[in-house]
Amino acid sequence: MNLLEGIRLAWHSLGANKLRSVLTALGIIIGVAAVITLVSLGRGVQTSITSQIESIGTNLLYVRPGAQQQGGVRAEAGSAVTLTTEDARALADPANVPDAVAVAPVVNSFGQVAYLAQNTRTQIYGVTPEYAEVRNYQVEAGEFIQNSQVTGRLAVAVLGNTTAANLFGDPDSAVGQSIRIDGQAFRVIGVLAPKGTTGFLSQDDLVMVPITTAQSRLFRGGNFRGADSISLINVQVASPAQLDQATQQIADTLRQRHRILYEDDFTITSQQDILNTATQITGVLTLFLGGIAAISLLVGGIGIMNIMLVTVTERTREIGIRKAVGARRRDILAQFLTEAVMLSVLGGALGISVAWSISRLLNNIQFSSVAIQPEVGLDAVLMATLFSMAVGIFFGIYPASRAAGLNPIEALRYE
C-alpha cells in the first residue's frame, strides 16, 4: 500500500465517524492553540520590556552608591551615601573618563505635588540639563532645565506627562503655572513627552527640578565627606564597544578619589546588563508558559490513543478480511498509524488558525499601562506542528501495532 492509498483510506475511515474524529482532534486543537498563543504572548512581553528599557537611553552606565562593607556586612547598591556632585564632575572630565560622552548626576526621592485642589505623590528628581539627552527625554511643551537655573538654584520644575495630566487635566496648560512640592512653591517651565513605563516605574509620572534646588530645598542634609551627596550618576558612552573600557575608567577615578584599596563603595552597572537580565527572565517565562500549554497536547495524544484502540476493536472483522485477501502486517500498521497522524495534523492546522485569531484579538492588550503585541513566530508554529505530529505518531503506534498483530482467523470470527 502506497502513501496516497493510505491517506485515502485514513480519510475515508475518519469521515465515517465525523463527530468522533472532531472531538478526538479537539485536544490537539486546544493544545496547539495554547502553545502558540502563550509563546507569542511571552515574546510580546519580552519585546515590550526590551523596548521600554532601550527607551531609557543608549549606551548607559549607572554608577550607584553603596556596595561597601558596613560593620562586616556588604551593603546593597544605593544603601549608603557615597557619591557626590564632585564625583560627577570628576567623571565628566575627559582627562579622567575620555570615553564618556555625557554625565548626568541625579538625586531623587518621593514627594507630594499639589496644584490648587489636585495633588499626587510622585517621584521627584533633581537633575542637570544633560539628563534629558542621556535619558532620551523630549520636551512636549515649554523647556527643560537650563544651566543658569542649576547655578541659581531656582524653584522651577519640569513635569512628566502623567503628572501634568493628573494635576492640570491638559498637560499643555501646565507651563507657567505654580505648583507646590512638599509645601514649597515651584514654577512649571516644561512638560515632557510621554515615554511609558519600565517595570513597575512610570517614566511619565515624575517631577524634575534643578539638582542644586533639590539638594538645598527638598532633600536637605545629604552629604558625604563635606560635599552634597547624589543618588545616581548616569554616564553615556559613545558606543557599546567602549562600555567595558569606560567602566574601568570610572572605577579607577572613583577609587582614587575615595582612596579605596579593597572594597568599592560604589556599584557600576550597564544598560546592557539590565537588558540581558530582563531578556533572560522573560525567555524563561516564555518557555515555562509553552511547557504548561504542551501538557494539553499530551492529553490530546492520550485521547487519540484511546479512540484508536476503540477503532481497532470496532474494525476487527475488517482487519481480518484485509489480511485474508493479502494485506501485510506493515499495511495494517501503516493504515492505522496514518489515521492517528492525520488526526493530529488536522488538529494542529486548526489549532494554528485558532492561535492566530486569538493573537489578533489580543493585539495591543494593555497590561499595567503597557501595550503588548503578541508575536506569532514561524518557529513557534513549526514547533507546535511537529510536536502534534510526534504526539500522533507516539500515541498511534500502540493501537496500530495491536491492529497489525491480530490473528486473521480470530479476527474473522470476531462478532
- Please check whether residues 48 and 122 belong to one and the same domain: no
pLDDT of residue 73: 39
- Residue 223 vs residue 131, higher pLDDT: 131
In-domain check, residue 73: no
**Whole-angstrom Cα distance, residue 84 to residue 399?**
75
The number of beta carbons lying within 10 Å of the beta carbon of residue 383 is 17
pLDDT of residue 75: 44
Domains: count for the chain: 2
For the chain, first and last CA: distance in Å?
27
Residue 395 confidence (pLDDT) above 80 = no
- Please check whether residues 258 and 354 belong to one and the same domain: no
- Please check whether residues 95 and 181 belong to one and the same domain: yes
pLDDT of residue 57: 61
- Please check whether residues 143 and 259 belong to one and the same domain: yes
Mean pLDDT of 293-313: 77
Q: What is the pLDDT of residues 401-413, one digit of tens each?
A: 877 777 666 656 6
pLDDT of residue 3: 63
- Please check whether residues 16 and 156 belong to one and the same domain: no
Axis crossing angle, helix 378-404 with helix 18-56, rounded to the nearest 10: 150
In-domain check, residue 65: no
Q: Which of 140-144, 366-370, 385-389, 405-409 has the highest mean pLDDT?
A: 140-144
pLDDT of residue 107: 92
C-beta separation of 48 from 275 below 8 A: no
- Please check whether residues 337 and 250 belong to one and the same domain: no
Q: What is the pLDDT of residues 196-215, one digit of tens each?
A: 665 556 788 999 999 999 98
- Please check whether residues 190 and 339 belong to one and the same domain: no
Q: What is the pLDDT of residues 12-64, one digit of tens each?
A: 777 777 777 788 788 888 888 888 888 888 888 777 777 766 666 668 889 98
- Please check whether residues 355 and 213 belong to one and the same domain: no
Of 264, 297, 322, at which residue does a domain stop? 264
List the one residue out of 299, 259, 307, 397 whose CA is nearest residue 29: 299
Boundaries of domain holding 301: 3-53+276-413
- Please check whether residues 285 and 387 belong to one and the same domain: yes
**Whole-angstrom Cα distance, residue 69 to residue 79?**
11
In-domain check, residue 63: no
- Please check whether residues 166 and 194 belong to one and the same domain: yes
pLDDT of residue 414: 57
- Residue 277 vs residue 154, higher pLDDT: 154
- Please check whether residues 224 and 131 belong to one and the same domain: yes
Residue 257 confidence (pLDDT) above 50 = yes
Residues paired with residue 70 on neighbouring β-strands, in sequence order: 73
Residue 270 confidence (pLDDT) above 70 = yes
If residue 28 lies in a helix (H) or strand (E), which one and from where to where? helix 18-56
Give, in order, the Cα–Cα distances in Å from 110 to each of 7, 122, 218, 352: 69, 6, 10, 48
Please work out, in degrees rounded to the nearest 5, the angle formed at the alpha carbon of residue 270 by the alpha carbons of 264 and 273. Answer: 110
Residues ≥6 apart with Cβ < 8 Å to 169: none
C-beta separation of 207 from 123 below 8 A: yes
C-beta separation of 79 from 265 below 8 A: no
**Whole-angstrom Cα distance, residue 129 to residue 150?**
8
**DSSP letters spanning 232-295:** EEEEEES-GGGHHHHHHHHHHHHHHHHT-SSS-SEEEEEHHHHHHHHHHHHHHHHHHHHHHHHH
Give Cα 201 distance to the centre of its chain: 15
Asked whether the whole model's pTM tops 0.85, one would answer: no
Mean pLDDT of 3-11: 69
pLDDT of residue 70: 40
Q: What is the mean pLDDT of the chain?
A: 80
In-domain check, residue 71: no
pLDDT of residue 322: 73
- Residue 87 vs residue 279, higher pLDDT: 87
In-domain check, residue 66: no
Give Cα 398 distance to the centre of its chain: 42
Residue 164 confidence (pLDDT) above 90 = yes
Query: Residues of the chain with pLDDT > 70: what percent?
Result: 85
**Whole-angstrom Cα distance, residue 230 to residue 86?**
10
pLDDT of residue 277: 76
pLDDT of residue 225: 66
- Please check whether residues 379 and 305 belong to one and the same domain: yes
In-domain check, residue 61: no
Of 238, 264, 290, at which residue does a domain stop? 264
Report CA dihedral (18, 19, 24, 28) to the nearest 10 degrees. Answer: 80
Of 264, 292, 313, at which residue does a domain stop? 264
In-domain check, residue 153: yes
pLDDT of residue 76: 47
In-domain check, residue 397: yes
